[in-house]
């Protein structure tokens, strides 16, 4: 049986009277890609930010590689990485410089070779010495994903990694990400609003609504359980009426 | 001309100013501090005229200006190194990386030292060329003041970072305002004796006051005022400790309240 890379137990975050994340528990095993879905405000970003230590939970535990995140922050963050549309690389650097900076921050000793290889892997060679601020949003997103691989992470958090990409580029990037993940054998937590993408990449899907996990299962089982073929329809139904349907007893 | 268009522009800016404490601070703070500064300078010049002082004004005023610029730059380069990460929406990447806060601060310190040394050599050379002012004549006496000025600049830089973390990018004006706030009470361009007695007591806690008092003693009397060096250094150590405690507190609060993600959204 494969070991859990990430184990989240009863994680809760409240901002005054608003509960952003409400006692969620889940695991990600080695080589597993888990998608975190939910409507806006469901608690996806707060969950990811708690996994990145940007936000402190009010209760619950996060264990990564068997170690408590709060107690081993630097050690664990050096084995993880992330990308998100709200956190781009500095616009006043070039992709080559930006990737070099993050390679150093993640402790990659042979960073020059690593940067060259990432520029090749993500087809950024021609853009390598242009200012990041002058790249298109799709190119910046691609660079953000390249940055997420600087340290060959064992746990990757991808918050809408293909959000600003046209379909062919998104497909190409997805394929590259899956290839690199397969090579590293790491686990991934992936968020997206593109249901086709989610279905393609995910081993499991976690549906969040109002901070609670509504379901945590394989895409096939979720479709069976809801009696629907289209994941998007399931998403819309859950987002609209999250806590009424008896068969949707929230998972804990 | 459509008055509604003008009203739209006016409204957009007034809303912004009204809602932002740092912006209101910038609006009233700068003029208040400037008034205090020029008031003290005027009083001092008046006193000097009465006593017919033979002080070397060029050396006194320009040296004070050069060292003040060094302090200002030290604080600003520190605060702006962090603000640069906020402005370029890179701050989340930084806080989600395995970099420790102490490593981040040390990196900013090194940037500050490099910039301050470069600027110091440049401005002292320019002062020599333009006004025949050779600050290097002060010799090794300038070293303790130089170091203390840099360190206090960093301490205030750390406080600036804490305030930006707490209040968001709109607090960037504080990066420029904080040194200016300290200026009139540091007796940079005039002697402490010009202050009312109560202010003389209150300003004792400012390391910059002792640094600039000491600098003036070196220039006018040619001796090293050890008491000024002692107080400047001791108060600096206290300020650095308090600044770090403040930053840790602000970061803790930011993680609890979710202010860090707001840094790229405001």
> pLDDT tens, B65-82?
999 999 988 888 888 889
**Cα–Cα distance, B93 to A179 (Å, whole number):** 24
B94 with A91: Cβ contact below 8 A: no
**Cα–Cα distance, A213 to A215 (Å, whole number):** 6
Could you name the CATH architecture of A1-78+201-252? 3-Layer(aba) Sandwich (3.40)
- What mean pLDDT comes out for the span A162-188? 88
The pLDDT tens digits of the residues spanning B127-173 come to 899 988 888 888 888 889 889 999 999 999 999 999 999 988 878 88
- What mean pLDDT comes out for the span B174-186? 87
Confidence of residue A249 (pLDDT cuts 50, 70, 90): very low
Q: Tokens 């393609």 belong to which residue? A: A200
pLDDT of residue B54: 58
Q: Is A87 helix (H, G, I), strand (E, B) or coil?
A: strand
Confidence of residue A234 (pLDDT cuts 50, 70, 90): confident
A6 and A19 in contact (C-beta within 8 Å)? Answer: no
A56 with B255: Cβ contact below 8 A: yes
Alpha carbon separation from A140 to A64, A144, A207, B187, B247 (Å, rounded): 29, 6, 28, 50, 32
Least confident of A58-67, A131-140, B12-21: B12-21
Q: Which residue has better confidence, B204 or B30?
A: B204
Residues 36-55 of A with CB under 8 A from B: 45-46, 49, 52-55
Using the Cβ of B96 and the Cβ atoms of chain A, whether some distance falls under 8 Å is answered with yes
Name chain B contacts of A83, Cβ cutoff 8 Å.
none
The answer, yes or no, to whether residue B56 has pLDDT greater than 50, is yes
Domain region containing B238: 3-262
A112 and A177 in contact (C-beta within 8 Å)? Answer: no
B89 and B96 in contact (C-beta within 8 Å)? Answer: no
The pLDDT tens digits of the residues spanning A143-166 come to 999 999 999 999 999 998 888 788
The pLDDT tens digits of the residues spanning B98-139 come to 999 999 999 999 998 899 889 999 999 998 999 888 888 888
pLDDT of residue A81: 96
pLDDT of residue A246: 41
Query: What ipTM was predicted for this assembly?
Result: 0.88
Domain residue limits, chain A: 1-78+201-252
B98 with A107: Cβ contact below 8 A: yes
- What mean pLDDT comes out for the span A201-207? 93
Domain count, chain B: 1
């Amino acid at each position: 049986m494969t070991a859990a890379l990430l184990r989240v137990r009863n994680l809760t975050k409240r901002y005054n009277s608003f509960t952003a994340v409400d006692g969620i528990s889940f695991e990600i095993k080695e080589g597993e890609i888990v998608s975190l879905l939910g409507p806006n405000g469901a608690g996806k970003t707060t969950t990811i930010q708690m996994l990145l230590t940007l936000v402190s939970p009010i209760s619950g535990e996060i264990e990564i590689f068997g170690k408590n995140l709060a107690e081993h922050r630097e050690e664990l963050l050096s084995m993880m990485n992330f990308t998100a549309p709200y956190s781009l690389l500095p616009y006043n650097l070039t992709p080559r410089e930006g990737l070099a900076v993050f390679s150093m921050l993640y402790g990659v000793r042979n960073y020059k070779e690593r940067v060259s290889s990432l520029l090749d892997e993500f087809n950024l060679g021609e853009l390598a010495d242009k200012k990041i601020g002058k790249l298109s949003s799709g190119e910046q997103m691609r660079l953000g994903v390249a940055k997420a691989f600087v340290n060959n992470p064992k746990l990757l958090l991808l918050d809408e990694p293909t959000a600003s990409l046209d379909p062919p580029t998104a497909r190409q990037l997805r394929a590259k990400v899956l290839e690199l993940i397969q090579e590293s054998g790491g686990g991934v937590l992936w968020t997206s609003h593109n249901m086709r993408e989610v279905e393609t990449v995910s081993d499991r899907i976690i549906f969040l609504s109002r901070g609670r996990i509504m379901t945590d299962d394989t895409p096939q089982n979720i479709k069976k359980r809801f009696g629907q073929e289209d994941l998007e329809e399931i998403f819309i139904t859950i987002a609209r009426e999250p806590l009424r349907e008896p068969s949707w007893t929230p998972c804990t | 001309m459509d008055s509604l268009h003008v009203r739209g522009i006016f409204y957009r800016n007034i809303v912004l100013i009204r809602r932002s404490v740092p912006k209101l601070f910038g609006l009233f703070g700068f003029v208040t501090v400037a008034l205090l500064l020029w008031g003290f300078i005027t009083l001092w010049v008046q006193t000097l005229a009465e006593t017919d002082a033979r002080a070397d004004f060029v050396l006194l005023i320009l040296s004070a200006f050069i060292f003040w610029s060094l302090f200002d730059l030290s604080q600003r380069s520190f605060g702006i190194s962090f603000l640069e990460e906020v402005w370029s929406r890179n701050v989340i990447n930084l806080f989600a990386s395995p970099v420790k806060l102490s490593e981040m601060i040390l990196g900013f310190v090194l940037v500050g030292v490099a910039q301050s040394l470069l600027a110091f050599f440049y401005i002292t050379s320019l002062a020599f060329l333009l006004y025949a002012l050779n600050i290097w004549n002060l010799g090794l006496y300038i070293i303790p003041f130089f170091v203390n000025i840099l360190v206090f600049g960093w301490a205030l830089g750390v406080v600036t970072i804490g305030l930006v973390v707490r209040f968001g990018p709109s607090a960037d004006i504080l990066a420029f305002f904080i040194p200016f706030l300290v200026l009139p009470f540091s007796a940079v361009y005039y002697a402490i004796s010009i202050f009312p007695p109560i202010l003389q007591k209150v300003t004792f806690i400012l390391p910059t006051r002792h640094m600039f008092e000491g600098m003036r003693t070196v220039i006018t009397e040619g001796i090293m005022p050890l008491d000024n060096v002692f107080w400047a250094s001791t108060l600096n150590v206290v300020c650095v400790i308090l600044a770090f405690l403040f930053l840790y507190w602000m970061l803790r609060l930011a993680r609890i309240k979710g202010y860090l993600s707001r840094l790229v959204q405001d």
